Amino acid sequence: MPFDRRLLFSINWPLLGLTALLFGVGVLNLYSASGFRMGDELTLQSFYNKQLIWGAGGLCCLLAVVLFDYKHLATIAWPLAIAVAVLLILVLLFGKTVSGAKRWLPIGGYAFQPSELAKIAMLLLAAKILSKRPDRLGWLDLAGILAVSLPVAALIIVEPDLGTGLNVLLLVCGLILYRGLAGPVFKTLAIAGPALIPCGWFFLKPYQKGRILTLFDPQRDPLGAGYHIIQSQIAIGSGQMWGKGFLEGTQSQLRYLPEKHTDFAVAVFAEEWGFVGGIFLLTLFCLFLLQFYVTARNAKDRFGSYLAAGVFFYFFWQILINMGMVLGIMPVVGIPLPFISYGGSATIVNFTLVGIVVNVSMRRFLFKKS
């Protein structure tokens, strides 16, 4: 079907503008995070260059996604979910191990992370299943959606990649709450759910338990599990009101701050731009999330509404958890900050998800053929 040019007048330009602005801020921040200062000399690594390449690839994916009606995505939901499950099994069997985690499949000279693709697959599948439920979800409906999402999340968690697995579960759970639960189901889960959370402690690995304990007392292991949180808090606090200035952050430039280009990238930003810069970045993210909410509310059908809502929950939880762990009020679980943290597969997925929401937004009106 040819592309209807009238759709161009319905493009969500604020969402595209905010996405471009956040990505630009991220690249600028990665430029600084890539630096290592020795005296007056600043040596730069290539993280920001690679991020620009991944961003270009993500933009191509965004443009490709908006060219066809999003309703066609429902037809590939099951095949994509099955393909992702197979890829995750292949990762466990033949994946590349980095820092004790087997998360990547080597393809040529690159490493592909199927767990990132799982986010899109679970979004499409959950939106398709939930859009066909006319009433609030009962026990059978809930069991059905969990039966297809829990195995995928489990395959990711055992890599181990607790952060991404948790992100997939939170995305699906957010959509379940958005769809609505039947009264008895909601009441039972509201009572039993919190009571079952402590049971998860017995399934955590020792280093994961250490991260949770360190959350309450970082000084219990200041050179081990608590090191990340301590250095992050020092970086953020030293930025004070206006920050130290671009490329002037001592915690990042002198390499005191670990994972400064990935999980703790926002600590670099806060050290250099201070409280004011942090509020500016948080405002951008709030406006960014608002566009997803508006799109979900104004979508012309349930499937489109659930797609936009799912993308909202995907970004919301990543932003909340990443900023929470950087501030030291949440455990360190390895969830990056969208568009700010370095990551190839994640950048492609982020742009693709934005493209899906732009697609839903621009087709919220029905056009008749001339």
Given this model, what pLDDT does residue 188 score? 87
| 20-34, 92-106, 298-312: range with lowest mean pLDDT | 92-106
pLDDT of 217 strictly over 90? no
pLDDT of 2 strictly over 70? no
Q: Which two tokens stand for residue 287?
A: 């406006």
Can you tell me the distance from the alpha carbon of 164 to that of 135, in angstroms, rounded to the nearest whole number?
30
pLDDT tier, 366 (very low <50, low <70, confident <90, very high otherwise): low
pLDDT of 324 strictly over 80? yes
* Number of domains, the chain: 1
Given this model, what pLDDT does residue 37 score? 64
Q: List the alpha helices (DSSP H) in the chain.
A: 13-33, 47-66, 77-94, 114-131, 139-157, 162-179, 183-196, 206-216, 227-238, 250-253, 265-298, 302-327, 344-362
Domain for residue 6, yes or no? no
Domain for residue 369, yes or no? no
Given this model, what pLDDT does residue 249 score? 80
Q: List Cβ neighbours of 57 (8 Å cut-off, separation of 6 or more).
A: 347, 348
Whether the CB-CB separation of 12 and 358 falls below 8 Å is answered with yes
Domain for residue 340, yes or no? yes
Given this model, what pLDDT does residue 370 score? 35
| Burial bucket for residue 219 (CB in 10 Å: 0-12, 13-18, 19+) | exposed
pLDDT of 1 strictly over 70? no
Closest by CA to 62, choosing from 349, 366, 304, 361, is: 349
| 121-130, 135-144, 287-296, 307-316: range with lowest mean pLDDT | 135-144
Higher pLDDT, 74 or 37: 74
DSSP code per residue over 301-341: SHHHHHHHHHHHHHHHHHHHHHHHHHHTSS-----PPTTTS
Q: If DSSP codes are grouped into helix, strand and coil, which group holds residue 111?
A: strand
Domain for residue 227, yes or no? yes
Domain for residue 366, yes or no? no
Domain for residue 4, yes or no? no
Domain that holds residue 132: 12-35+44-361
Given this model, what pLDDT does residue 229 score? 84
Mean pLDDT, the chain, as a whole number?
A: 86
Can you tell me the distance from the alpha carbon of 347 to that of 14, in angstroms, rounded to the nearest whole number?
19
Given this model, what pLDDT does residue 367 score? 47
Instruction: Tell me the torsion sign for CA atoms 68, 72, 76, 78.
Output: positive
pLDDT tier, 296 (very low <50, low <70, confident <90, very high otherwise): very high
Closest by CA to 172, choosing from 145, 140, 201, 212, is: 145
Q: Which two tokens stand for residue 48?
A: 């920001």
Given this model, what pLDDT does residue 368 score? 42
Please report, rounded to a whole number, the percentage of residues in the chain having pLDDT higher than 70.
92
pTM of the model: 0.90
Domain for residue 3, yes or no? no
Whether the CB-CB separation of 322 and 266 falls below 8 Å is answered with yes
Domain for residue 349, yes or no? yes
Q: What is the pLDDT of residues 138-185, one digit of tens each?
A: 889 899 999 999 999 999 988 888 888 889 999 999 999 999 888 888
Given this model, what pLDDT does residue 103 score? 82
pLDDT tier, 334 (very low <50, low <70, confident <90, very high otherwise): confident
Q: What is the pLDDT of residues 253-273, one digit of tens each?
A: 777 788 888 888 899 999 999
Q: If DSSP codes are grouped into helix, strand and coil, which group holds residue 122?
A: helix
Q: What is the pLDDT of residues 86-115, one digit of tens each?
A: 999 998 888 777 766 778 887 766 677 888
Can you tell me the distance from the alpha carbon of 359 to that of 347, in angstroms, rounded to the nearest whole number?
18
